Amino acid sequence: MSHSLDGFTPSTIEYPETLEQLSSALGSEHKAGKSVIPHGGGTRIGIGNIPTAYDTAIDLSKFTGEIEHEPGDMTVVANAGVKIATLNDLLAKEGQRLPFEIRNPSQATVGGSVASNASGHRQSSTGGIRDWVIGMQIVLADGTVTKSGGRVVKNVQGYEMHRLNTGAFGTLGIVSQAAFKLLPLPPEQQTIIMWFGNRESAQDVGMSLVNGLFMPEATSLIAGSLANKTVTASGESAPTGDTWALLVRLGGGVRSIERQVNEVVGAGGANSATGYAVLSESAASAAWSALDDAETNAKLSVRMTSLPVATMSTAESIRSAVSSSAQSDVSTICDLGFGALTVLVADTEDSDQVDITNSITSEIEKHPASYVIEKCGLSVKQSRDVFSDVGSSIDLMKRIKNQYDPTNTLNPGRFAGKI
């Protein structure tokens, strides 16, 4: 894996395998006045502003250790370098799972996922990582090892620093270990795909489901060429014309699933769905993978969080704004229950990305929303902050950064406000 980042190549790469090695390596770099960027599986390392300095990479891929799973307590503790897929496989043997879902689990690591507050398709039904982290071990910039929370669901250790470090992108310390609360695997799962010729019909069905008598595990509304690709990935014929695809995943017992499927299909029929399919396990996997692959392969990606209705109208206005200013393939994915919108541009050149990104964020800023430019070329990072304006919170964020990393050793300049 390359450790180069935004035009910087580190002069030193450390591969700690134990906590002592990690603490020693970070402490030595801190004492020498070096800047450090931690690396996990590399799936989200590109998120962030251009670093102001980058001397040393600390690669945690070998920092795995033993996974401590307590099935009776429904908790698990894993080191930063453990792959999410490895964790999922172990938990499944006991009929359990991580409550949150992470894209690219075969590459994504525990540490990187926690540090970047990575999200997945189940966020609307079970929440994100921050909701399920119950404890954390963190190595501060000077090599000091600290702990927050614990390995049990209930703890009284004061302020939950593990929540502060979740989504801090490694600016306060390196997440070396995390403890999670678990959920049981549902007995059955079923995915349904429906497609529509207009946003309003797709939106009505999707919102009726997330506001209905049961909560689907995942409800994604897809627009642009990705909608057609998702339908064909599921084994169905490609729709013609502008298409909005609704991908719904259900979970529960056999009888519950049967009832839910009937309600989902009925809602689609009542709102003039162009077509639908109840997918086999392999077809469902292919359909959800189409979304993950599109995010992985996109040249430009922006993730917005707002009210669900705002994300859907914004998706349409973004596609219109970008198509009128550039010949680019723009697709969107709305998580209807959570209110998250991911905008993907598949084929843009780096030289066009500044204008396209500005068009996208201008539409987002018309709503009370936050956003992160998750993937982009260097030209975009040179022109702006990839995080949306955090307002007056920036002063508090700077004070916290100064308290935990006063020498600005970790990820300098990469976080919101170029902290």
By the 10 Å C-beta count (0-12 exposed, 13-18 middle, 19+ buried), 78 is classed as: buried
Tell me the per-residue pLDDT of 284-325, one tens digit each, with 9 for 90 and over. Answer: 999 999 999 999 999 999 999 998 888 888 998 999 888 776
48: left (phi over 0), alpha (psi -120 to 50) or beta: left
Q: Please give the pLDDT value at position 325.
A: 66
Q: What is the mean pLDDT of the chain?
A: 94
Q: Please give the pLDDT value at position 139.
A: 98
Query: Could you give the C-alpha distances from 141 to 32, 137, 169, 413, in angstroms and in order?
Result: 12, 13, 13, 15
Q: Dump the DSSP string for 282-306.
A: HHHHHHHHHHHHHHHH-SEEEEEES
CB-CB contact of 369 with 334 (8 Å): no
The sign of the torsion formed by the CA atoms of 89, 91, 97, 103 equals negative
CA 325 to chain CA centroid, Å, is 28
How large is the average pLDDT for residues 244-252? Answer: 96
- Determine how β-strand 218-223 pairs with β-strand 174-181: unpaired
Q: Please give the pLDDT value at position 156.
A: 47
Please tell me the distance from the alpha carbon of residue 264 to that of residue 419, in angstroms, as a whole number. 46
CB-CB contact of 183 with 74 (8 Å): yes
Whether 150 shows a pLDDT value over 80: the answer reads: no
Please tell me the distance from the alpha carbon of residue 305 to that of residue 132, in angstroms, as a whole number. 20
pTM strictly above 0.85: yes
Residues pairing with 304 in the sheet: 341, 371
CA 280 to chain CA centroid, Å, is 26
CB-CB contact of 35 with 408 (8 Å): yes
Give the chain's domains with CATH numbers. 1-185 (3.30.465.10), 188-293 (3.30.70.2190), 298-383 (3.30.70.600)
Residues pairing with 247 in the sheet: 193, 220
Whether 221 shows a pLDDT value over 70: the answer reads: yes
CA 39 to chain CA centroid, Å, is 16
Q: How confident is the model at residue 74 (pLDDT cuts 50, 70, 90)?
A: very high
Long-range contacts of 206-212 (CB under 8 A, 24+ apart): 206/246, 206/248, 206/334, 206/336, 207/308, 207/309, 207/336, 208/267, 209/248, 209/263, 209/264, 209/267, 209/336, 210/124, 210/308, 210/336, 210/337, 212/263
Whether 392 shows a pLDDT value over 70: the answer reads: yes
Tell me the per-residue pLDDT of 9-54, one tens digit each, with 9 for 90 and over. Answer: 999 999 999 999 999 999 999 999 999 999 999 999 999 999 999 9
